[in-house]
Structure 1
């Protein structure tokens, strides 16, 4: 759906912004339609983003789809965590996340967010259902974050040493 605020952004900025928020791989035509640019313009910027490892090109039959390069996005996220937080802050965050998930396991007598979601079927109280749904979503989010924070901690010394080396 066209956004009438887009003219303040250049064509390239619109394509890059749309590409960075892709949830599923899309064609250059789809991006062009979303950003109100030509397919040729969309392809130009999408190919640049693929060269920069922001996007991956996925061949699907006759079409090329563009999707977020999750591996590179994770590497960038690990690097950002290492640069923005010291080891103690990352350790505290990891500890807090583990405590939350452990507390939920005990409180709800479940082992996974999926089991917590399934337990909603046994409830009549809509407030309790909503609370469990919200906790399950947060739990799933934490499960996604834990490996990233772990990776930032595991490679903290290696990364910070390389980050300070001058050329």
Structure 2
């Protein structure tokens, strides 16, 4: 009777020990995946922000001309037409090469009367930058402002409202 009890107790201890080791091993795997996903997300955010910043630096004058031309045309349109359009695409594909890969950016005009901060603004964006299992997007919002010193563009220039990377 005593040998049977010791055998059962030994098997029970081994069972608890194996379950504990399995649990710790699985937690370590999950922790490693979590750290890897966080690292990939940071890399994707860095890449998205780098691509959009490179495009902005290299093509700022062209971008300013596109936005100011559209703003001039847009303000001549009837106000009723403006109420019906919330956003529209200015340029179909703005392409840039970064570290040997090609990326496509979108430039949109945003019209929202309910939010005066972003009403009649422009959004340059890049979506779905992938690193590993993570995706990231980046946006730069512009607003056309009056600038008396800027005689080149009829006293108008663009100003960055905000930058978002998520």
Q: Higher helix proportion, which one? A: 1
Task: Confirm or deny a common fold (TM above 0.5).
Answer: no
Provide TM-score, normalisation by structure 2: 0.30
